[in-house]
Structure 1
Amino acid sequence: MNYRHSFHAGNSADVVKHSLLIALMRALQQKPGALTLIDTHAGCGLYDLGGDEAQRTGESAQGVLRAFADQNPLLDAYRAAVQAVNVGTGPQLYPGSPRFLAQLLRPQDLLILNEKHPEDAYTLRGVMRATSAAVHERDAYELWLAMLPPRTARGVVVVDPPYEQLDERDRITATLAAAHRKWAHGVTVIWYPLKDRATHSRWKAQVRKLGIPKVLGVEHWLYDEDRPGIYNGAGLFIVNPPYAFTQALPPLLDALRAVLAPEGHRGELTTEWLSA
């Protein structure tokens, strides 16, 4: 599955991913110690929802536009972060994870971004010019390991690949295992699209076999039954999520599920601890 950010900006997966990133960062920032934030597949950083690529899929209508039409206060932080890069009442631009993370930085925090595609990396540098972020143009998996352990005691690695390569999941699993050996207490967030339950179940089994003590799986299935061969939703593996985050998660997930459920479907947004 090829999942380039620009074609899917502001879709349901982005709403869930970025809402959870905000909640995760707020939980971690309850402690004053500095954080290093590393985004391994940063993309362009900012996307035009009226552009050709976003318009070709039209997925923002079922994602960020639904979130903006909703009144649930649990989504206020997400809406405010999107609104911060826009002028007017509705979102015309959509911030990628780098811009969400940049908004959440405290003076003591560090932000490290990586984007391998040269054109996207060039755009990313322009988008992030007014921030303190460092931008790299390297292989994502090489950078992931090279940056660990970070200079600060605590941090978060965000892994959000386009899944262009058939071995993407295998590379993530292998790199996660190596990363955990270097930085066992670090927080890692791995995003993935969901196509069918059987494929995803096999990957979950591989992650379980790594023996990492605390891995939380969050799965968002859009439809009440699988639709073979198409995009069915997305999820996150979150390694070492803080207690404050997991305790606040159930009402947020319920709010997101209700807002994003396609017409005629209830949808599922569930969590599961992946213990060996």
Structure 2
Amino acid sequence: MNYRHSFHAGNSADVVKHSLLIALVQALQQKQGALTLIDTHAGCGLYDLDGEDAQRTGESAQGVLRALADPNPLLRDYRAAVQAVNVGPQLHSYPGSPRILAQLLRPQDFLILNEKHPQDASTLRRAMRDTSAAVHERDAYELWLAMLPPRTARGVVVVDPPYEQPDERERITATLAVAHRKWAHGVTVIWYPLKDRTTHWRWKDQLRKLGIPKMLGVEHWLYDGDQPGVYNGAGLYIINPPYAFTQALPPLLEALRTVLAPEGHRGEITTD
């Protein structure tokens, strides 16, 4: 499954992913200690919703545009992050995880970004030139391990690949196993698309066999029943989620489910 960021900017998966990422970092920032934020598959950083890629799919209409129109205060921080990269009421740009993480940085925090695709890496550097982020152009899995443990005691690694390669899940599983041995208390966020439940359950079983004690799964299924052969939603695995984050999660997930449910479907967001 090819999931290049530029084709899907601002879709329902982005709304869930970025809403939870904001809540997660804010929960960690309740303590004053510095954080290192690492994005292994950073993409372009900022996306043109009027551009050819985004217009080809039009997925933002069922994602970010719905969230911006919804007054639920639980989505306020997400809406603010999107509005920060736009001028005026019209939505033209969408912030990827790098721009959202940059907005959350405190003076004591660090942001490390990586994008292997040369064209996207060049675009990423331009998108982040007004920030303090360090930008790398390396193999994501090599960088993931090379940066651990980070210079600060606490931090977050965001793993958000396009799933272009058939062995992507196997590489994530193998790298996570090593990463956890190097930095057992670190927070890791792994994003993945949901296409069919059987494939996902098989991978979930492989991850559970790693024996990582604190691993939270969040799954957002768009439809009441699987739609064969198409994108059905997305999920996140979060290693070592902070207590403040997990306590605030249920009402946030319900707000997201409500605003993103396709017409004629209730949708479902589950945790385990």
Please indicate, yes or no, whether the TM-score normalized by the shorter chain is above 0.5.
Answer: yes
Contact 1:224 1:266 in 2 (8 A): yes
- The structural deviation recorded for 1:258 is 0.2
Whole-Å separation in 1 of the counterparts to 2:81 and 2:69:
15
For 1:128, the equivalent position in structure 2 comes to 128
Normalised to the residue count of structure 1, the TM-score between the two structures is 0.98
Match of 1:33 in 2: 33
The equivalent residue for 2:147 is 147
SS of match in other structure, 1:125: helix
Q: Percent identity?
A: 86
8 Å CA contact 1:36, 1:112 repeated in 2:
yes
Residue deviations 1:32-52, cap 9 Å, x none?
000000000000000011110
Provide Cα deviations, 1:162-197, integer angstroms capped at 9, x if missing partner: 000000000000000000000000000000000000
| 3-state SS in 2 of match to 1:163 | coil
Amino acid at match of 2:197: R
Matched, 1:71 2:48: no
Within-5 A mapping of 1:73-88: 73-88=73-88
Q: Deviations over 1:64-87 (max 9, x none)?
A: 000011111100100000000000
Q: What is the DSSP-based 3-state SS (H/G/I as helix, E as strand, rest coil) of the residue aligned with 1:156? A: strand
Structure 1 residue runs without a partner (length 5+): none
In structure 2, what is the equivalent of residue 3 of structure 1? 3
Deviations 1:219-269 (A, max 9, x none): 000000001100000000000000000000000000000000000000001
Partner of 2:184: 184
1:259 aligns to what? 259
Runs of 4+ in 1 over 3 A off after TM superposition: none
Residue matched to 1:62: 62
Task: Look up the match of 2:101.
Answer: 101
The match for 1:203 is: 203
Equivalent residues of 1:68, 1:90 under 8 A apart: no
Distance 2:144 2:90 in 1: 35
Letter of the 2:219 partner, please give it.
E
Return the TM-score normalized by structure 2. 1.00
Corresponding residue pairs, total? 272
Extract unaligned runs of 5+ from structure 2: none
Tell me by how many angstroms 1:89 deviates.
1.1
Q: What secondary structure sits across from 2:218 in the alignment?
A: strand
Contact 1:188/1:239, CA 8 A, preserved across alignment: yes
